[in-house]
């Protein structure tokens, strides 16, 4: 969609409405797996004694920008082949890829999970089978192709979810309940509301474990630098306990903005490759589900400057911003965005915020519409995206708040914001 230039009268309160910015480094614990292939092989030793010769094994792979996912899947394929199995890959991503088989293959390929690179075929279909009914009225679906295999391997990142809180959030259980349920199953569970996910997801996953040939899980936990910090092969009988325990580890190691208070957050890019919500509410405090507390102090204005290239126009989460730019809005693929959020039954993240001509105007309006601040007192933080938080920029008013705080190092002196001729922030 093209936007005409937006012209309106504006009374600017200050001669220079832009605060200076200074680079700040955020330092987090950095445990990581140095040898991903070796780590996968070591974890798969737990399967010794299982006869896999000639068995058709489906490897379920999700849609997020998971650290090391291509290396993990390639190693799983190699080990299964060495044991005589015939592995293949199935997309486990609910409605993503515009809820079509070809689109889900494209999502996997964008993550580096292609047939050539993995050494295994990708079998993508939106067809499902109903394997049970939960309670009186919740049908439980499962990928048809995976259901016809001799075993299913679940490759899943365990992390805090972006729309609900529970003992089990994103991880092994959620991939069983929703990812492998494809679009139809995802619609069914989401229609019950995120407020019920804390009980619905584990209940559905237990049914899948009981009915389907789940061989094992390969759980991935990331550190704050978006690196693999932990790999764990999980037997089906241990999914419940380990998915819960690994979530606690993941929550302790996610990246956050360590600044205690922000008036304005400027986000350079939003995307599904960054977070399921486009911007991780564990960082921004904002999500499409009312009443979920992410432990982040309220921010007056959030500015989103652009979309990531890898999101392919999916602007899920743009509605959680207050202001964006024409450049960003014109890249939105509304079909992909709407498919994703209608499936989730959460519509606010698809709404357009105020659209302004360029970064310069967007940031100016963000400052002007903040209450009880001036350019000298506004606490402004700029980040690349909610995944990459090791280097941020802050306005001078933030410096007293972070003086002496562990994990924050000021990397220079404040400098004026610089814009190019098109009004883009440099």
The string of DSSP codes covering 308-335 is: -GGGTT--TTGGG-SEEEHHHHTT--HH
Write down the pLDDT at residue 229: 96
What Cα–Cα distance (Å) separates residue 342 from each residue in 98, 193, 305, 345, 417? 11, 12, 24, 5, 38
Write down the pLDDT at residue 357: 95
Largest CA distance in the chain: 75
Write down the pLDDT at residue 323: 98
First to last CA, the chain: 25
Collapsing DSSP to helix, strand or coil, 171 comes out as coil
* Regions of the chain where pLDDT drops below 50: none
Write down the pLDDT at residue 43: 94
Write down the pLDDT at residue 292: 85
Residue with token string 């310069």: 360
Q: Distance between CA 133 and CA 275 in Å, rounded?
A: 31
Collapsing DSSP to helix, strand or coil, 401 comes out as helix
Cα 416 to chain center, whole Å?
Answer: 32
Write down the pLDDT at residue 176: 97
Predicted model pTM: 0.85
Structure tokens given for 143: 């990928």
Nearest partner of 4 among 326, 407, 424, 414, judged by Cα: 326
Indicate the fold that domain 36-253 takes in CATH.
Rossmann fold (3.40.50)
Domain spans in the chain, listed from the N-terminal domain onward: 22-28+256-410, 36-253
Write down the pLDDT at residue 407: 94
The 10 Å CB-count burial string (b at 16+, else e) for 174-206 is bbbbbbbbbbbbbbbbbeeebebbeebbbebbb
């Amino acid at each position: 969609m093209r936007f005409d230039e937006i012209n309106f009268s504006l009374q600017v309160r200050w001669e220079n409405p832009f605060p200076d910015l200074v680079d700040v480094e955020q330092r987090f614990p950095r445990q990581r797996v140095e040898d991903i292939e070796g780590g996968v092989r070591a974890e798969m030793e737990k399967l010794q004694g299982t006869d896999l010769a000639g068995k058709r094994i489906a490897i379920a792979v999700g849609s997020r920008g998971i650290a090391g996912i291509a290396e993990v899947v390639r190693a799983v394929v190699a080990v299964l082949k060495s044991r005589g199995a015939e592995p293949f890959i199935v997309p486990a991503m609910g409605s993503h890829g515009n809820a079509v088989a070809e689109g889900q293959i494209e999502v996997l390929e964008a993550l580096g999970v292609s047939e050539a690179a993995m050494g295994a075929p990708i079998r993508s279909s939106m067809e499902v089978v109903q394997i049970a009914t939960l309670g009186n009225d919740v049908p439980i679906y499962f990928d048809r192709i995976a259901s016809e295999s001799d075993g299913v391997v679940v490759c899943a990142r365990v992390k805090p979810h972006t729309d609900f809180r529970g003992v089990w959030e994103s991880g092994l259980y959620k991939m069983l309940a929703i990812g492998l349920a494809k679009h139809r199953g995802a619609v069914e569970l989401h229609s019950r509301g995120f407020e019920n996910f804390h009980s619905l997801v584990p209940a559905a996953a237990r049914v899948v474990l009981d009915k389907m040939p789940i061989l094992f899980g390969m759980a991935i936990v990331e550190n704050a630098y978006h690196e693999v910090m932990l790999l764990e092969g999980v037997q089906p009988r241990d999914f419940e306990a380990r998915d819960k325990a690994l979530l606690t580890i993941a929550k302790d190691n996610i990246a956050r903005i360590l600044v205690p208070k922000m008036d304005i957050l400027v986000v350079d890019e939003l995307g599904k490759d960054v977070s399921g919500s486009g911007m991780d509410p564990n960082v921004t405090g904002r999500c499409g589900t009312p009443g979920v507390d992410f432990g982040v102090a309220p921010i007056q204005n959030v500015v989103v400057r652009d979309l990531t290239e890898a999101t392919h126009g999916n602007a899920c989460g743009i509605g959680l911003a207050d202001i964006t730019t024409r450049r960003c809005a014109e890249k939105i693929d509304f079909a992909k965005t709407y498919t994703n959020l209608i499936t989730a039954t959460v519509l606010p993240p698809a709404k357009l915020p105020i659209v302004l001509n360029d970064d310069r105007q967007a940031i100016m309006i963000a400052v002007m519409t903040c209450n009880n601040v001036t350019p000298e007192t506004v606490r402004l933080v700029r980040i690349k995206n909610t995944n990459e938080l090791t280097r941020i920029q802050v306005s001078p008013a933030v410096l007293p708040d972070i003086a002496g705080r562990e994990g924050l190092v000021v990397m220079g002196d404040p400098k004026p914001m610089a814009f190019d001729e098109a009004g883009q922030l440099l």
